[in-house]
Amino acid sequence: MAKSDVMNSNHADTRTVMATCPACGLLCDDVLVENNQNKISVLANGCAKSIAFFEQAAGNTTPRIAGEPATLAQAVAKAAQILKAAQKPLFAGLSTDVQGFRALYELAQKTNATLQHMNATSSQRNLRVLQSSGWQMTTLTEVKNRADVVVCIGTDVVTHNPRFFERFIQQDGMFIGAEQRETIFIGENIKKNDALERSSLLACRASNLSEITLVLRALVLGKKLKVTQVAGINTSDLQAVADKLKKAKYAVLAWVAKDLDFPHAELTIQNITETVVILNQTTRAAGLQLGSSDGDTGANYANTWLSGLTLSEDQAIQHDAVVWVNSFSPEKNPPDSGLPTVVLGNPNSRPASEPDVFIPIATPGLDCSGTLFRVDGSVTLPLKKLRETDLPTLSDVIRKIEAQLG
């Protein structure tokens, strides 16, 4: 099949499209999907996450007020009423694309709301490093074409980004063949990836990663250690990793902030990024942040250019209403806050407790077009509308709410 996103009319009711998948931060845009009588199925280049995303049911398009079916106008009026009554609402979840985020940002300005993405805690781990020391990073096409040694720290990557190795490591690049690459995993609960040639694992507890990355940083700097073991790993094994990094032409040190789920994980990330800085004094190396979901990268970027500041974690402000947005992930529920709650959500959402208002919205990349940022931040891709729906977009709903705020 030719790689093209041209819609081929194979059959009156069937068409195939090359779609962009928003289910993880890689934004694979080579996923071949078929629309057969408005039902989407993945034909090629799917993964478990993308199949779950593209093949999700159309869902119920009826809004609800306190669990009872309502018209869109009624639900919008109720949502506007909640926002009008609130002094300091929290807009959370924020699982949407750039266009949806722009609309949310404007509504937040008008309603004095705080914005907080569902991935804020893990995003903060990275941002703290960026804002403390900066970093030296790379992007996926550079990895595919240059990386000769890839170290994955505290993560198997594939749990978050299923096709990472298939698309970027097990491929021949411009300057390196797939079989010449070496992959090293350091961490806990890392599944052996049998498809990877020349891969190795240094097993350790996640809670020890801070110490291990600090030692690796020291070894790369040329420090000699007297101890023979660090947190259960032989110093000689870490020395071997350090030597490989120093010899590499383009070493890549990757991590997933969500997997570094322990206190002060930013110090572990900083050990990784400062190791890269040391390597770059003599050879070439780069950091690579992976993971990402629910439009977190784009929400953070857009908030930054719109306001001048990154999205932050909740500053323990007392809120008096919650607006929850979960376009991409029906399974992600609003916090159980006890506050008046409006959900602008994926139609397949099953909130644990029924919100005051539920308005099902179109999912970008499935029900409507959109724009999303890839996890490496440098690539922004269009999302396509793949099926017909009556659902309004998030921006449509927000415009209607704004119109009622007066």
Binding site for another protein (CB under 8 A): 3-5, 18, 20, 29-30, 98-99, 102, 127, 130-142, 144-146, 167-168, 173-175, 249-250, 280, 283-284, 286, 300-302, 304-310, 371, 373, 377-382
Minimal distance, residue 309 CB to another protein, in Å: 5
Of 3 and 11, nearer to another protein (C-beta) is 3
Q: Which is nearer to another protein, 92 or 372 (CB)?
A: 372
Question: Considering the complex, what minimum distance in angstroms separates the CB of residue 101 from another protein?
Answer: 10
The answer to whether the CB of 275 falls within 8 A of the CB of 220 is yes
Q: How far apart are CA 84 and CA 77, in angstroms?
A: 10
Comparison of 263 and 308: residue with beta carbon closer to another protein: 308
If the CB atoms of residues 228 and 305 are measured against another protein, the closer one turns out to be: 305
Q: Which residues fall within 8 angstroms of residue 86, CB to CB, at 6 or more apart? A: 111, 319, 320, 321, 340
CB of 372 to another protein, least distance (A): 10
In the complex with another protein, the residue whose CB is nearer, 4 or 189, is 4
Contacts 24+ apart (CB under 8 A), 236-241: 237/202, 238/202, 238/212, 241/151, 241/184, 241/186, 241/202, 241/216
Instruction: Considering the complex, state which of residue 112 and residue 304 has its C-beta at the smaller distance from another protein.
Output: 304
Query: Which of 141, 88, 150 has its CA nearest to residue 113?
Result: 88
Rounded to a whole number of angstroms, the minimum distance from the CB of residue 277 to another protein is 9
Phi-psi region of 404 (alpha: psi -120 to 50; beta: other; left: phi over 0): alpha
Nearest distance from C-beta of residue 150 to another protein, angstroms: 15
Alpha carbons 377 and 1: distance in angstroms, whole number? 30
CB-based contact 17:35 (threshold 8 Å): yes
Residue closer to another protein, measured from CB, 38 or 304: 304
Minimum distance from residue 168 beta carbon to another protein (Å): 7
Min separation Cβ 174 and another protein, Å: 5
User: What are 256's strand-pairing partners?
Assistant: 290
Please classify residue 309 by burial: count the beta carbons closer than 10 Å to its beta carbon, then call 0-12 exposed, 13-18 middle and 19+ buried.
Answer: exposed
Question: Partners of 228 in the beta sheet?
Answer: none
Is residue 345 a contact partner of residue 358, using CB atoms and an 8 Å limit? yes
293 SS3 class: coil
Long-range pairs, 303-311, Cβ under 8 A, ≥24: 303/101, 303/105, 303/115, 306/102, 306/105, 307/105, 310/127, 311/94, 311/115, 311/116, 311/117, 311/120, 311/123
Q: How far is the CB of 121 from another protein (least distance, A)?
A: 17
Of residues 174 and 316, the one with the C-beta less far from another protein? 174
For the bound state, the minimum distance from the C-beta of residue 384 to another protein, rounded and expressed in Å, comes to 10
Residue 159 structure tokens: 């749990």
For 357-394, letters b (16+ CB in 10 Å) and e give bbbbbbbbbbbbbbbbbbbbbebebebbbbbebebbbb
Q: Give 314 or 320: the residue with its C-beta nearer to another protein.
A: 314
Q: How far is the CB of 233 from another protein (least distance, A)?
A: 29
Q: Which is nearer to another protein, 71 or 131 (CB)?
A: 131
